[in-house]
Amino acid sequence: MSDLRAPFLWSKEVPMGGLGYPFRTMAIFAAALAVAVIFVVLPVNRGLAWTLAVVIILLTGLLLALRSRQIARARDQSAPVLAALGATTADLPVSLRTHMPLVLVTGDALAQLFNRTAEERLAHVGDGAIWLRVNRPQDLPRLAVAVKQWRNGRAADGIVLSIAPALHASQDALTQMLRIARQAASDTSRMLGARLPAYVAVYQRLTNEGSLLATNEGRKTFPASESPPRWYGVSSATQLTGAQRFEDVIRAAEGEVQQARGDAPPAARAAALAAAIGWTQRIVIDVLTDRLQPATPWRLFGAGWIDCGPACGPGTPWARDVEAQTRIVPPSMAASPTPWPLPQPLLEALPRRLWMSPRRAALAHAVALVACAGALAIWGAARNNQALLAHIGADLGRFSMIPSDRDNARRDALQALVTDRDQLDRYARTGVPMWLSFGMYRGATLMPVLNDAIASYQPPAPPPAVITLDSMSLFDSGDAQLKPGSTRAMIGALEMIKAHPDKRVLVAGYTDNVGNPESNLRLSIARAGAVRDWLIEASGIAATRFATQGYGDTHPITSNESNAGRAKNRRVEITLVPDAPNAAAPPP
């Protein structure tokens, strides 16, 4: 094998759904994790949370139903293949199913490649790989899925397309077969979730030498005078690209000619090999890799040619193509005896894929799901903490902006701060809830701020207490001398004064508008003084706590047009005011 490139590790994600993968468990676990994150952490209202939970549960149920149906159908279709594989590989240790390369072989001359015993078998174990026969290219997707189940979730390692040019009646028939194989490989990649490496093996008699003989046991022998036919080709761990990819193969064949020093068979083989490579490039590979075709192009990793194949003569389409390209008519050649060798050299640079068992893959997926849920939970907790800080900040700002004279609104804002403080205190005592945790909680930094704001609240001074006394029950008309027995009307005022020793006492007198205003003013002052004197004498309170004021007829509380109105305006008011320095009694 010329130009054998060194293999290297080639990693590809193992798709879900193979035998042994706990798909139902993983689906239920993912759904439960999503619902838990939605309800516990995400900053959404309950209505939206329930809606999302119901949608997730319904989608999970639908997915499980569809997946169960798909797996059941795939198992039914794969049952014959799995049975045949089990019979063929009965002596193969189970561990080698996943460690030994497995290649799907389709195309031409499968009977000659796999006829190694008396009975036709689906697979052949040997030559460093498990070779699985696919009689029709259209069966590639179904068999690939069966292989993945049989190998405990690991897909096949490659696809080999066997081409025997002499078996095709026309170039159009070959092109149609190639297009079918290309579409089948595309469907296989879609069903597996990964594109498999593809190889082309061309079986064509190049000379009349090197015929193979076969024994009943399937072992290959050669006449002593002959050497076994060699594979010529290229195998790479990376995809083959470019027009110069097969020149090294031709140079290797030309090197054999130089070593043979002019012998005719090597020279004829080199010329025929060059013609076969050119034909393969134009007729086969161009069809498989043409990007203008609807199906996915083949990922070609290797191609090989061998001087072995069916009988061919000048009248075959391949011989006519060689004659058209080289002006040389290929001679007639007999068919090689069966079995024909499998293209083992193509697998020497087979891309190595990193594979893990389905249960390990499920564990890795579970860890990934938990990591995603954790990241989402951290994001949700951060948003919730941001909302909490914004809410408390808004309450603090509202409390600070309310003027002190709007005490009702200020008390409402104060109550909101107390509620916020109690909530943070509860978190400190019983633990931070999940929707605020995950290292995002910042509420403890607001406790001192809330306590300072609550302590800064000062309730307003209570309004002055006022007792109104009817002047007619205390004094005679136009007189400022208390009538006998009138003191009983002032008992209530005396009790109020004694109950508030921290208040000053203002005694104010008022009259109606009958008579001279100046006389009315003097009368109101005198009546206020008479009431004050009695209160001082009856209570024993220092006179400095009392003040008097006369307003005459200047502050009526109702109209003086009627007798009833004038009677209400003739009054004495006793008012309690805070005992503050320079406290001035407000006018009634």
Q: What is the pLDDT of residues 524-536, one digit of tens each?
A: 999 899 999 988 8
CB 342 within 8 A of CB 113: yes
Mean pLDDT of the chain: 80
The predicted-structure confidence for 488-509, as pLDDT tens digits, reads as follows: 888 888 888 888 888 889 999 9
The predicted-structure confidence for 358-377, as pLDDT tens digits, reads as follows: 777 888 888 999 999 889 88
What φ, ψ does residue 468 adopt, rounded to 5°?
Answer: -105, 125
Of 501, 511, 372, 299, residue with least CA distance to 36: 372
CB 115 within 8 A of CB 217: no
CB 385 within 8 A of CB 43: no
Query: What is the spatial distance between Cα 47 and Cα 53, in angstroms, rounded to a whole number?
Result: 10
Please give the pLDDT value at position 587. 42
CB 314 within 8 A of CB 162: no
- Of the candidate ranges 58-67, 322-331, 397-406, 502-511, the one whose mean pLDDT is the lowest: 322-331
CB 183 within 8 A of CB 289: no
CB 276 within 8 A of CB 202: yes
Query: What is the spatial distance between Cα 508 and Cα 548, in angstroms, rounded to a whole number?
Result: 6
Query: What is the spatial distance between Cα 556 and Cα 562, in angstroms, rounded to a whole number?
Result: 13
Q: Which residue has the tokens 């009965």?
A: 90
Query: What is the spatial distance between Cα 132 and Cα 124, in angstroms, rounded to a whole number?
Result: 7
- Per-residue pLDDT band for 77 (boundaries 50, 70, 90) equals low
Q: Mapping DSSP to helix (H, G, I), strand (E, B) and coil, where does residue 66 land?
A: helix
Task: List 508's β-bridge partners, or say none.
Answer: 549, 573
Please give the pLDDT value at position 408. 85
The predicted-structure confidence for 253-285, as pLDDT tens digits, reads as follows: 667 666 655 566 677 777 788 888 888 888 898
Q: What is the mean pLDDT of residues 206-223?
A: 45
Q: Taken in order 76, 81, 84, 90, is the CA torsion positive or negative?
A: negative
Per-residue exposure over 294-333, b if at least 16 CB sit within 10 Å of its own CB, e if not: ebbbbbbbbbbbbbbbbebeeebbbbebbeeeeeeebeeb
Please state, for a pLDDT cut of 90, what percent of the chain lies above it.
Answer: 17
The predicted model scores a pTM of 0.56
Q: What is the mean pLDDT of residues 31-40?
A: 88
Q: Mapping DSSP to helix (H, G, I), strand (E, B) and coil, where does residue 579 land?
A: coil
What are the start-end ranges of the E strands in 255-369? 300-307
The predicted-structure confidence for 436-489, as pLDDT tens digits, reads as follows: 888 888 888 889 999 999 888 888 766 667 888 888 888 888 888 888 888 888
User: Regarding beta strands 571-578 and 503-510, do their DSSP bridges make them parallel or antiparallel, or are they unpaired?
Assistant: antiparallel
